Structure 1
Amino acid sequence: MPLPSLDSLESILAIVVVFSLLVLVHELGHFLLAKRAGILCREFALGMGPKLFRFKRGETEYTIRALPIGGLVRMAGEDPELDVLKPRMELAVQLDEAGRVTRLILDPKQWNSPSLVRGTVVHYDLEQKLSLTLETAGEQTRYAVHPQAQLVLAEQEIQIAPLNRQFRGKSVGQRFWTIFAGPAANFLLAFVLLALLGLLYGVPSNEPQLGEVRPGGPAAQAGLLEGDRVLSIEGRPVARWQEIVDVVSRSPGETLTFVIERGGAQHSVEVTIGRNEQNRGQIMVYSAITYSPWAAVKYGAAATYEYTALILTSLGMLFTGTYGLEELSGPVGIFKMTGEFAQQGLEILIRWAAVLSINLGLFNLLPLPALDGGRLAFLGVEALRGRPVDPQKEGMVHFLGFAFLMLLILVVTWNDLQRFIFTG
């Protein structure tokens, strides 16, 4: 079966915009809290793979990469390229007016300037003492190093990072909030999107007042009109819209007496309840819609909570075996559904984007290696032990976790291909 939602420019554009927005907001959460903690952020990337576009502002390089999946904030302390500086290595340095090293130049092709000082590295500390000792013509000289000195590799310049500018040099609390901020930003995005829906399309009211009455439905056939306020059903007073829904849902096929208020007068109306596909009662009428900023804000918060609870329930069913892996959707399935929802209108697409954002936030909080939740778990262990886990051991655990996640993605992608392409 073809992927029908991917055959239009509108659908493809919707997929790119939605996923770029989710990743951008997630990484922006990490980035802003890292900057607030004083961590040197070397790169803010949207996408994965080769760099297509880049520009540098301040200390950070901003890039767009070829594959529109994922993103990253590369923080100081995660830079194997800085390990190239070794004792007994020859280099040249540039000094400022105070005699501090501002550039460490490793490429001999760039040693031509007479203002440079050349020598052999005897000792260096670019993390705490910020010092460099060079031997020149048999004489050793110790230089102070500027905290924003540049390490020059060929044509690439990399800013050094003292320990207090590195992720690992921050307190447990600062590192916790830097990691947690990514998933938190996704929940905030969901809230904003759902509140925006409330502003644009209104918020369903819980007042017992009828909104749109579908033509030909049981309510329309009984003579009910939009704007009617339901006072009672079968003699029982009604104060909230949900009470109407509950009574109607459990009364398929029955005829109920509605007492309504219309134009200041009360009327008694006999309504024969219809039946839906789930054998529950329906009268084909919607609740009234409220348009107000405060109602939109409350709706955004309530809907975010409800979707979060629903997704957590589904995750619980997955771990308890109620759902199997064959029922999961991967990138192919999510792309397909996003394209389909884009065809159904902006309201549906915005709601779907909010649900995906909550999914992304919750998934990243799972205490699995390579996810934000896994890193938070290691921070919890560090807080309990009073010292960090060996970085090499932690790195190996995250590497194995990443391999497992890639395998899981392959499995669910195969499920998607079987479901959408190989089966009718």
Structure 2
Amino acid sequence: MDLLISAYDIVVGYLVPFLFVLTIVVFFHELGHFLVARWCGVKVNVFSVGFGRELFGWNDRAGTRWRLSLIPLGGYVKFAGDENAASVPDRDHLAAMSEEDRAGAFVTKSVGQRAAVVAAGPIANFILAIFIFSAIFLSFGKVITTPLVDTVQPGSAAEAGGLLSGDLILSVNGDEIEAFSDLQRVVSISADVPLDLAVERDGKVVDLSVTPKLREFRDNFGNVQRIGLLGVSRSPDAEDMKVKTYGPVEAVVAGTQETWFIAARTLSYIGGVLTGREAADQLGGPIRVAQVSGQVATQGLMPLFSLAAVLSVSIGLINLMPVPMLDGGHLIYYLAEAARGKPLSEKVQDIGFRIGLAIVLLLMVFATWNDVLHLTNL
């Protein structure tokens, strides 16, 4: 009985939220490729959510096979004239095609059209994130707590930087601070990085420099977090808290800013890993995503959609990495083709795809290993 309960908890508590989040993100990524490909006159043979054996599917009027496949860890669109889902051209098949069929093949399109089709996937991810965040801001607004310092912890970065109780934070590095949460977000990603603060104190503007300290702690779900901390608390007074409402245009602007912040934070972390400034143990794979999805699902549907938006930004950025097999690798090939006036040789492209496949597999293994270590440390 306990085993049945555990299996039920895993499926309902983790697998269902994970598939919900991942399917939304993957579907919109592939939909971006699909729509621009159709617009450019490319025939799409397959639109698949998932890999492996088809579970069920149907054909549309244009001949595209829409399918849901067994392994729900991604998806792909396969264009006419392609050998596989990575858009590697099938030269033998192309040679045997009629002129009419060749006109609808992906490889026969101009370099600009091919680049547009490839870039459309990651762009769709960013648009999805903006849409979700905008809808949340429009529907629920945003809780704004005045960025007023209530207490300063002894021995903290804030004390070392000269912050005092009663200071009103106006800006950080020249960017206006509207809410205490805005300050927290900037500080959390700025451990050991000096920040220039402008604060209002006794009616005057005072300029300070503070350097957040790196702190490691476990959140309510037991996940290890490493963030920068100043060591200040916000005002507890009710009059310092309000709900900001947004109109449609304001919501889109806020949603775009939220998407930009997540993209910048992700790129900053990746850069930190490459330079050794950040630990790579925060890189996670499907197991971590499933775990986080289950944890977030306990807080409601809106946080789960927020997670989908965050994951959508991450997948968009990952796909833009200049690695063959990923969208960014294809764009590098097309850039080289545009500069040379002709495509790279088949041999060079094949070597690139093999190297790209090896890199992607190594990253998957590394991320999965991180996931296992994370689970064993909970």
Q: Shared fold (TM-score greater than 0.5)? A: yes
CA distance in 2, matches of 1:69, 1:237: 44
| Structure 1: stretches of 5+ with no match in the other structure | 86-123, 129-146, 148-160, 211-217, 220-232, 251-255, 259-276
- Tell me the secondary structure at the aligned position of residue 63 of structure 1: strand
Residue in 2 that maps onto 1:415 = 370
Q: Paired residue for 1:377, among 297, 307, 332?
A: 332
Q: If each structure's helix is expressed as a fraction of its own residues, which one has the higher value?
A: 2
Q: CA deviation at 1:75?
A: 0.5
| 1:313-366: CA deviation from partner (whole Å, max 9, x where unpaired) | 111112212124333111111211111111122232222111110000000001
Residue in 2 that maps onto 1:391 = 346
Letter in 2 for 1:177: A
Give the 5 Å matches for 1:183-198.
183-198=122-137
- Tell me the secondary structure at the aligned position of residue 278 of structure 2: coil
CA distance in 2, matches of 1:337, 1:247: 25
Counterpart contact for 1:203–1:296, Cα < 8 Å: no
Q: CA deviation at 1:294?
A: 2.6
Counterpart contact for 2:82–2:90, Cα < 8 Å: no
Counterpart contact for 1:5–1:340, Cα < 8 Å: no
CA distance in 1, matches of 2:20, 2:262: 22
CA distance in 1, matches of 2:294, 2:258: 23
Residue in 2 that maps onto 1:29 = 32
The reply to whether residue 76 of structure 1 matches residue 80 of structure 2 is: yes
Counterpart contact for 2:143–2:244, Cα < 8 Å: yes
The reply to whether residue 66 of structure 1 matches residue 80 of structure 2 is: no
Counterpart contact for 2:144–2:178, Cα < 8 Å: no
Q: Aligned pair in 2 of structure 1 residues 238, 373: CA closer, same or farther (>3 Å)?
A: closer
Q: CA deviation at 1:247?
A: 11
Q: Aligned pair in 2 of structure 1 residues 22, 65: CA closer, same or farther (>3 Å)?
A: same
Q: CA deviation at 1:197?
A: 0.8
Q: Aligned pair in 2 of structure 1 residues 352, 390: CA closer, same or farther (>3 Å)?
A: same
The reply to whether residue 335 of structure 1 matches residue 290 of structure 2 is: yes
- Identical positions, percent: 30
The reply to whether residue 242 of structure 1 matches residue 242 of structure 2 is: no
CA distance in 2, matches of 1:352, 1:235: 33
Equivalences, count? 309
Give the 5 Å matches for 1:249-260.
none
| 1:10-63: CA deviation from partner (whole Å, max 9, x where unpaired) | 543221111001000000000111111101111111100111112111221111
Residue range with higher mean Cα deviation, 330-339 or 180-189:
330-339
CA distance in 1, matches of 2:8, 2:317: 26
CA distance in 2, matches of 1:401, 1:5: 38
Q: Aligned pair in 2 of structure 1 residues 333, 82: CA closer, same or farther (>3 Å)?
A: closer
Q: Aligned pair in 2 of structure 1 residues 83, 236: CA closer, same or farther (>3 Å)?
A: closer
- Tell me the secondary structure at the aligned position of residue 39 of structure 1: coil
- Tell me the secondary structure at the aligned position of residue 73 of structure 2: strand
Q: Paired residue for 1:346, among 292, 301, 320?
A: 301
Q: Aligned pair in 2 of structure 1 residues 4, 412: CA closer, same or farther (>3 Å)?
A: farther
CA distance in 2, matches of 1:344, 1:14: 12
Q: If each structure's strand is expressed as a fraction of its own residues, which one has the higher value?
A: 1
Counterpart contact for 1:203–1:299, Cα < 8 Å: no
Residue range with higher mean Cα deviation, 6-15 or 360-369:
6-15
Counterpart contact for 2:334–2:343, Cα < 8 Å: yes
Q: Aligned pair in 2 of structure 1 residues 204, 71: CA closer, same or farther (>3 Å)?
A: same
The reply to whether residue 282 of structure 1 matches residue 282 of structure 2 is: no
Letter in 2 for 1:199: L
CA distance in 1, matches of 2:98, 2:246: 56
Q: Aligned pair in 2 of structure 1 residues 257, 7: CA closer, same or farther (>3 Å)?
A: farther
- Tell me the secondary structure at the aligned position of residue 177 of structure 2: helix
Q: Aligned pair in 2 of structure 1 residues 286, 41: CA closer, same or farther (>3 Å)?
A: same
CA distance in 2, matches of 1:341, 1:236: 33
The reply to whether residue 166 of structure 1 matches residue 166 of structure 2 is: no
Q: Paired residue for 1:48, among 37, 46, 51?
A: 51
| 1:127-146: CA deviation from partner (whole Å, max 9, x where unpaired) | 44xxxxxxxxxxxxxxxxxx
